[in-house]
A and B are shown apart, each in its own frame.
Chain A
Amino acid sequence: MEITWEDGSKSTYTGEQLRWACPCAECRGEAGMQGRLARVQTLSPAELRVHDVTLVGQYALQIAFESGHATGIYTFSLLKRLMA
């Protein structure tokens, strides 16, 4: 996935990188509980392939993977941090 930012600069992401960075509660964990990404070592190929991306307002992207997982809302600031 490639993003062209407002200033014209570009960032490129792999599906694998995005999947492991999923910020949703199931993946990250909540209320002191460990999330799924902390418990598993590997993910199936379908989990790592980006299926669709939708803009959320103007602050984030909702990324759907081929496995059907689509609960993560990736804010632009998170996406910028991933590149840093």
Chain B
Amino acid sequence: MSAPTSQQVLDVLGHIKDPDLGRDVVSLGMIKELDVSAEGKVTFTFELTTPACPVRDRFKSQAEDAVGELPGVTGVEVRMTANVRPAFSRPKPSEILPGVKQTIAVASGKGGVGKSTVAVNLAAALRKSGATVGLLDADIYGPSVPVMTGSKVVPQQSNGRLLPIDAHGMKLMSFGHINPGDEPTIYRGPMVGKAIEAMMVQVDWGRLDYLVIDLPPGTGDASLTLAQAVPLTGVAIVCTPQDVATDIAVKALQMFRKLNVTPLGLIENMSWYVCPSCGHRHEIFSHGGAESAAKRLGVPFLGAIPLEESIREDADAGTPVVISRPESAGAKAFVEIASQVAARTSIQSFRQLPVINVH
């Protein structure tokens, strides 16, 4: 039996649909370097839109099965790779952060719900999947990233620009690096905006697949400056399950909607606690609040993170739990959420922003 043609291979692969993008993987340009040998051995590259793809393994086996069933095929070799595409199809790259493909904001509205812990672990999980990742701590008044990443050092300068700090394979910048120690940053609103802009423009971020931005609580200066300065790919909203937190999270989400920033979804933190002595599951702050709020607002629910001593301990010790204890329930929850966030982010690569022409 003779080997199939490349077109026949593409035809069967065209039946594989990307569940998030809603289109087949061939028209999305994910199949590359296809080769069919005279003996019927088929090799190709399957290029995902993110290394943190939640359906990576499913895609691989679907592709192997579909091609393997073609008459004349004697072997299938699929190389899985990933290439993060820039957010939005646009004529020219953004002038601010030109080397950054995707910017993901982490916000909450309310303080103390674990935004920074989520942002740090989300960034670390994306890094672990193989992406190049930066983390910008936009909380000018209460910067937590330096402690949580064990990177309390002053940034170096090069050609008048600040170099981000390298920790756990990620590039970091925080006001806690620029203004370390016990000295508070005492700024009025307009200064906060300037400081955040400076952390984007005056820091040499270089090329990044993802820049995760840890926002301060509230719906004011910091969030507004950010939404005005860069076309954010989307925002993930963190809240704890109780009403007092979900109510404020909803306000934050609606603010970003007004600014035309896509809500990537809600994350429920401190969702449950397993008592180490009795093994009982306690729902200290209630449970499921974020999921029902997400349903009400028509946005994805990205997942729930348990309240674990190890998450706090590792944050204080300066290593994100996804790196230090990858087998813990908390770390697994973060990794799962990161791949959900990455999948939602990929969708934005295929969105077209309005195009303006002046005659």
What interface size band does chain B fall in?
A: 20 to 34
Query: Given A1-B359, A2-B359, A57–B260 Cβ distance below 8 Å?
Result: yes
CB of B354 closer than 8 Å to a CB of A = yes
A4 and chain B: residue at smallest CB distance:
B355
- Interface secondary structure of A, over-half rule: strand
Choose the segment among B21-29, B52-60, B223-231, B267-275 that binds chain A (4+ C-beta atoms closer than 8 Å).
Answer: B223-231
What 1/0 flags go to B115-149 for Cβ under 8 Å of A? 00000000000000000000000000000000000
Q: Out of B227, B352, B358, name the residue touching A50 (CB < 8 Å).
A: B358
A1 and chain B: residue at smallest CB distance:
B358
A6 and B261 CA atoms in complex are apart in Å by 14
What 1/0 flags go to B343-359 for Cβ under 8 Å of A? 00000000111111111
Number of interface residues of A (CB under 8 A): 17
Query: Given A6-B352, A59-B227, A53–B358 Cβ distance below 8 Å?
Result: yes
Considering only residues 11-64 of chain A, those with a C-beta below 8 Å from chain B are: 50, 52-53, 55-61
CB of B258 closer than 8 Å to a CB of A = yes
- Which A residues are in CB contact (< 8 Å) with B355? 3-4
CB of B232 closer than 8 Å to a CB of A = yes
Q: Out of A4, A5, A58, A61, name the residue touching B261 (CB < 8 Å).
A: A58
Q: Please name the 7 residue pairs, one residue from A and one from B, whose CB atoms are nearest each other, closest first.
A: A59-B260, A58-B231, A4-B355, A57-B227, A2-B357, A59-B259, A57-B228
Shortest CB-to-CB span from A65 to chain B, Å, is 11
- Which A residues are in CB contact (< 8 Å) with B88? 58
- Which B residues are in CB contact (< 8 Å) with A52? 358
Query: Given A57-B230, A58-B260, A59-B227, A76–B354 Cβ distance below 8 Å?
Result: yes
A52 and B357 CA atoms in complex are apart in Å by 10
B229 and chain A: residue at smallest CB distance:
A57
Asked whether, in the complex, the Cβ of B356 is within 8 Å of the Cβ of A6, the reply is no
Asked whether, in the complex, the Cβ of B231 is within 8 Å of the Cβ of A3, the reply is no
A44 and B232 CA atoms in complex are apart in Å by 37
- Which B residues are in CB contact (< 8 Å) with A76? 260, 354
Shortest CB-to-CB span from A83 to chain B, Å, is 13
B358 and chain A: residue at smallest CB distance:
A1
Q: Out of B228, B231, B260, B354, name the residue touching A5 (CB < 8 Å).
A: B354
Considering only residues 237-296 of chain B, those with a C-beta below 8 Å from chain A are: 258-261
Asked whether, in the complex, the Cβ of A3 is within 8 Å of the Cβ of B354, the reply is yes
Asked whether, in the complex, the Cβ of A58 is within 8 Å of the Cβ of B353, the reply is yes
Asked whether, in the complex, the Cβ of B353 is within 8 Å of the Cβ of A6, the reply is yes
A60 and B228 CA atoms in complex are apart in Å by 8
**Can you list 24 residue pairs at the A/B interface with Cβ under 8 Å?**
A1-B357, A1-B358, A1-B359, A2-B357, A2-B358, A2-B359, A5-B354, A6-B354, A50-B358, A52-B358, A53-B356, A53-B358, A57-B227, A57-B228, A57-B259, A57-B261, A58-B231, A58-B260, A59-B258, A59-B259, A60-B228, A60-B260, A61-B356, A76-B260
